[in-house]
Amino acid sequence: MFGFLKKKDGTAPAAAEANKPSWSERLKAGLARTRNALGGGLGGLFGGAKIDAELLDELETTLLMADCGVEATQWLLGELKARVKRERMESPAQLRAALIEVLQELLTPLEQPLDVANHSPFIVMIAGVNGAGKTTSIGKLAKHFQSQGHKVLLAAGDTFRAAAREQLVEWGRRNDVTVIAQEGGDPAAVVFDAISAAKARGIDVVLADTAGRLPTQLNLMEEIAKVRRVIQKAEPSGPHEVILVLDANIGQNAIQQVKAFDKAIGVSGLVLTKLDGTAKGGVLAAIARQCPKPVRFIGVGEGIDDLQPFRVEEFVAALFDDATA
């Protein structure tokens, strides 16, 4: 669980060193299904003798099945074909290497880890559609920042859904983190209180939950925009990060979600959850093409440690790992 620590400052304690393999194992395990669908399918593909139309067709199918979307798939294929021509590739193994390369190039701009050290309190606002996993992600994020040595405070801004507050309070109890909550009331008011409390108590990171909403609910989108404005009022430099939580199971609507939330509250980072299912997370490719936003974390399991910083190389490698085996 100290894997990220180690990556960050390179002064990992011995315990973290021992934990490291378990970290990448966990990532691999979490993405195993993704790999089986994408890489596994590709492994068989690349076993053939030469690059032909059939292979490219199959490749298209696999990418589409991974939720890459029509546009991104066609772009990836176009890019691949151009490379095949330019570099006179002949063996499928070369094509595989090229695909890894293209995917990495496409996704690399999305890899921007979140640095919470430059403001105090660092205010993170979390938004998303209903059931994307916002509250659960906040619980995991709290743990993550805590283990980095930050003091964390949670704001229960979801005043609408039944028992959302209790859910966050429970996460707070598990992590031993203060939760600012109000009986009913206005989400913006809760968040305002939380920021004042954070300043008074010398808190490093404030995580503000919001109620889930679909982008088509215009008045609810307006409400969330208000939360953002109130944060700005409470702390003129904030919010320092606006995270949109996306469910990896969601299809092409994810793009609409990113665009709509970006318009309303200016999204500055994404968290992709539920990657441990059979979903492929290929929608990241579509996002990278159509509305690139940094991916801060990915959720690969239900455990409290299963939220990991997004690293392209590992993500792509995990997809293709042992695909040729």
Partner 1 sequence: MLDNLTQRLTKVVKTLRGQARLTEDNIGEMLREVRMALLEADVALPVVKDFIARVKERAVGQEVLDSLTPGQALVGVVHRELTELMGGQSAGLNLATQPPAVILMSGLQGAGKTTTTAKLGKWLKERQKKKVLAVSCDVYRPAAIEQLKAVSQQAGIDFFPSSGDQDPAEIAAAALDYAKKHYYDVLFVDTAGRLAIDAAMMAEIKALHAQLQPIECLFVVDAMLGQDAVNTAKAFNDALPLTGVILTKLDGDSRGGAALSVRHVTGKPLKFAGVGEKLTGLEEFHPERMASRILGMGDILGLVEEAQRNVDQDKAKDFMQKMKSGKGFDLNDFKDQIAQMRNMGGISSLLDKLPAQFGAMAQQAGGAVEEKSIRRIEGIINSMTPLERSKPELIKASRKRRIATGAGVQVQEVNRLLNQFEQTQKVMKQFSKGGMAKMMRGMKGMLPGMR
Residues that bind partner 1 (CB under 8 A): 33, 61, 64-67, 69-70, 129-133, 136, 139, 160-167, 169-171, 174, 214-218, 247, 249-254, 256, 260, 274, 276-280, 282-283, 302
Beta-sheet pairing, 241-247 with 269-273: parallel
CB of 294 to partner 1, least distance (A): 22
Contacts of 112 (CB under 8 A, 6+ apart): 269, 294, 296
Measured over the CA atoms of residue 64, residue 315, residue 322 and residue 80, the dihedral's sign is: positive
| Adjacent-strand bridge partners of 127 | 244
CB of 159 to partner 1, least distance (A): 12
How many residues are present in the chain? 325
Of the two residues 241 and 247, which places its CB atom closer to partner 1 in the complex?
A: 247
CB of 7 to partner 1, least distance (A): 28
Of the two residues 19 and 273, which places its CB atom closer to partner 1 in the complex?
A: 273
CB of 187 to partner 1, least distance (A): 14
CB of 15 to partner 1, least distance (A): 28
Of the two residues 234 and 283, which places its CB atom closer to partner 1 in the complex?
A: 283
Beta-sheet pairing, 307-309 with 295-299: antiparallel
Smallest Cα–Cα separation from 128: which of 282, 277, 258? 258
Of the two residues 122 and 261, which places its CB atom closer to partner 1 in the complex?
A: 261
Of the two residues 3 and 41, which places its CB atom closer to partner 1 in the complex?
A: 41
In this structure, what are the phi and psi dihedrals at residue 123, rounded to the nearest 5 degrees?
Answer: -100, 120
What is d(CA 300, CA 310) in angstroms, rounded to the nearest whole number? 11
Q: What Cα–Cα distance (Å) separates residue 223 from each residue in 88, 92, 211, 260, 306?
A: 55, 52, 10, 14, 31
User: Taking a C-beta distance cutoff of 8 angstroms, is the pair 312, 281 a contact?
Assistant: no
CB of 218 to partner 1, least distance (A): 7
Of the two residues 69 and 238, which places its CB atom closer to partner 1 in the complex?
A: 69
CB of 230 to partner 1, least distance (A): 22
Of the two residues 83 and 143, which places its CB atom closer to partner 1 in the complex?
A: 143
What is d(CA 267, CA 296) in angstroms, rounded to the nearest whole number? 12
